[in-house]
Structure 1
Amino acid sequence: MVDAPKLMLDGEHRVLYELFEEELRALVTVEQFEAMSKEYTAGVSAFHLVLDNTMNKLRMIHWMDDSGTKGIQAMIDEAGMIVGFMLSPLERFSESDSRYSATTFKLPFKGKWYVFWGGEHVMDNYHYVEESQRYAIDVVRTEEGMTYHGDPDLNESYFAFGEEILAGASGKVIAIENNIADNVPVGVVNETEPAGNYVIIDHGSHEYSLYAHLKLGSVCVLEGTDVESGDRIGLCGNSGNSSEAHLHFQVSDHPDLFRDGTKSLNINWLGDVKVRKGEIVDGGK
């Protein structure tokens, strides 16, 4: 394993830089990287490994310092070259982190899913910087470290595509979208309809769950109807601002995700399930 933080702390910046893939080196000179590295690691005695996972043949490695305020991320290809590298200051929002939804939610799917984004800092969850999406999760289906088998340009190749999506808790359906085309995987995403096909459920107490990027035509509930926890509401798809089949799920204090002032709520998961990046979570049968 490339121990990037140790090389940085030991002053071996050029050794690390030589592991950067050509396109990455085109973004920063070795002198610039050395200067940034020295500034970022000043006062830090050590970084500790917090994630080491391989997904679709790319290895993702994360480290964090003792204070929990500085992170380092590396993405490494099959040849051992670093194709992505980030120095990630970890801003925390402790007040909202400790405030959970009054509603208890089950995982909104069956079987085992991989948490690609989820957690309480930006290394685990890129949504975290946006108050309206701070505690959202993105989950995919995987087999042997892959999210697909066969042609990666076909939605049907992805294990998550077409999987049942379930209501996480009982409530009333207040909004749906069912007519957005699924994107070609790893192609152009639909930024004009970012949620794609979706279902929004009102659980009372100003708590609303959103299930986004559903498959075209798969939403099987109507506005105004009541649902129970575990009811099927649609199928996982690749619509909206999505590059491959996955479910975006979040709970908010307002049904309009894009309204100024809407706040994402930390989710109270049934059984205190830990839904954070790198975890495999099991929704059962």
Structure 2
Amino acid sequence: MKKSLFILFLLVSVISYSQDKDNYSKVVADFQSLYNEGNYNAIYYMFNYDMKKAMPLAKTRAFFADLNSKLGKITQVEFNKIKDLAHIYIVTFASEVRDITFYLDNNNKIGGLLVTYHKPDNLPVLDRNTTKMILPFNEEWFVFWGGIDKKNNYHVAHENQKYAYDILIIKDDASFSGDPKVNENYYAYGKDIIAPCDAKVVKVITGVKDNIPGELNSEQLTGNTIVLETNNKEYILFAHLKENSIAVREGQFIRKGGLLGKCGNSGNTTEPHLHLSLQNTLDMNIATGAKLYFDRILVNGELQLDYLPVKGDAIKNRD
């Protein structure tokens, strides 16, 4: 469920400073003026040869037009830090704050440009859950991606999804029966997703249509989504839920085992499954993923205590 946010960044060497440089200040000021004027052609001509190859004029114009339509004009630019020869700025747009990283070559041409979500330095650190959890579903489900290494869990490579699970239902070595283009033919589709602990509902995204299996919705990554907050300030994200199935609202307190919604196929997903992750803050865009353990569950038919499921496990709540 990974989507790169914006643009190529070309980078060299490793060094760190704490103060902005005059040549960067001038280039960034020019960039701000040209962006706010909508003069994206002129921004393109600020690029060096490599950037122009990576971002041709038409692509550059489309990129900044899309950025402007989503975030609006730049109202403030504040130098933040230097990392790996590049300067990072906190940029306030009309609607949101972003970080923009600039790298200039020896001719003061832009050789790298990266727009990312602004991540505060004071976010809490979370390694794993201390709240006791049950699995958020009934019946036996299969861990398609899970664990703490990249071999078993591709999410590990992505900080905001680190240690996340993709879980579905398997029967006779398949996740569906019949036409693979029909959501209802997938065993996980429409199954109840329940609260793994007592928690507060702090985020709900609804109204996203389920995909035809095999197709992706890269504009609404998590699809229909719920985020729960535990008493210990742990945030549990449930993604790709079924259209019109969410049974809770933001601000609601839900008890362990209570119905959240149903498994679906909405968002950036190819087939019905549950994407489940633990994170250190509410906003997935700036979060760091953490390990999610379950208190007492059956794993491949055997009881396991305080267990972190891994790829290939068949898991079920102990009755």
**2:129 aligned residue:** 101
Does the residue aligned with 2:131 lie in a helix, a strand or coil?
Answer: strand
Question: 1:269 offset after TM fit, Å?
Answer: 1.2
**Aligned counterpart in structure 2 of residue 268 of structure 1, from 293, 307, 315:** 293
**One-letter code of the match for 2:309?**
V
Question: 1:174 offset after TM fit, Å?
Answer: 1.0
Question: 1:186 offset after TM fit, Å?
Answer: 1.1
Does the residue aligned with 2:129 lie in a helix, a strand or coil?
Answer: strand
**2:251 aligned residue:** 224
**One-letter code of the match for 1:250?**
S
Deviations 1:235-276 (A, max 9, x none): 0000001100000011111011112xx211111311223411
Within 2, Cα distance between the matches of 1:198 and 1:242? 13
Within 2, Cα distance between the matches of 1:123 and 1:158? 25
Q: Verify the 8 A CA contact 2:293 2:309 in the aligned structure 1.
A: no
Within 2, Cα distance between the matches of 1:174 and 1:195? 15
Deviations 1:54-78 (A, max 9, x none): xxxxxxxxxxxxxxxxxxxxxxxxx
Within 1, Cα distance between the matches of 2:279 and 2:220? 19
Deviations 1:33-56 (A, max 9, x none): xxxxxxxxxxxxxxxxxxxxxxxx
CA-based RMSD of the aligned residues comes to 1.4
**1:130 aligned residue:** 158
1:247 equivalent to 2:281? Answer no
Within 2, Cα distance between the matches of 1:146 and 1:242? 17
Q: Verify the 8 A CA contact 1:103 1:268 in the aligned structure 2.
A: no
**Aligned counterpart in structure 2 of residue 112 of structure 1, from 111, 122, 140:** 140
Q: Verify the 8 A CA contact 1:104 1:267 in the aligned structure 2.
A: no
Runs of 4+, deviation exceeding 3 Å: none
Deviations 1:114-145 (A, max 9, x none): 10000011110000011211111010011110
- When the two structures are superposed, what TM-score results if normalisation uses the length of structure 2? 0.56
Q: How many pairs were matched up?
A: 185
**Aligned counterpart in structure 1 of residue 229 of structure 2, from 158, 181, 202:** 202
Question: 1:284 offset after TM fit, Å?
Answer: 5.0
**Aligned counterpart in structure 1 of residue 175 of structure 2, from 147, 155, 169:** 147
**2:285 aligned residue:** 258
Segments of structure 1 that go 5 or more residues without pairing to the other structure are 1-97
**One-letter code of the match for 2:208?**
I
**1:280 aligned residue:** 314
Segments of structure 2 that go 5 or more residues without pairing to the other structure are 1-125, 297-305
Q: Verify the 8 A CA contact 2:193 2:262 in the aligned structure 1.
A: yes
Within 1, Cα distance between the matches of 2:318 and 2:206? 26
State the identity as a percent: 34
Within 2, Cα distance between the matches of 1:252 and 1:269? 15
Q: Verify the 8 A CA contact 2:291 2:308 in the aligned structure 1.
A: no
Residues 274 and 204 (structure 1), Cα distance of their counterparts in 2 relative to 1, 3 Å cut? closer
- When the two structures are superposed, what TM-score results if normalisation uses the length of structure 1? 0.63
Question: 1:283 offset after TM fit, Å?
Answer: 2.7
Q: Verify the 8 A CA contact 2:238 2:276 in the aligned structure 1.
A: yes
Question: 1:169 offset after TM fit, Å?
Answer: 1.1
**1:158 aligned residue:** 186
Within 2, Cα distance between the matches of 1:166 and 1:284? 15
**1:43 aligned residue:** none
Within 2, Cα distance between the matches of 1:129 and 1:207? 21
Does the residue aligned with 1:172 lie in a helix, a strand or coil?
Answer: strand
Matches within 5 A, 1:1-150: 99-150=127-178
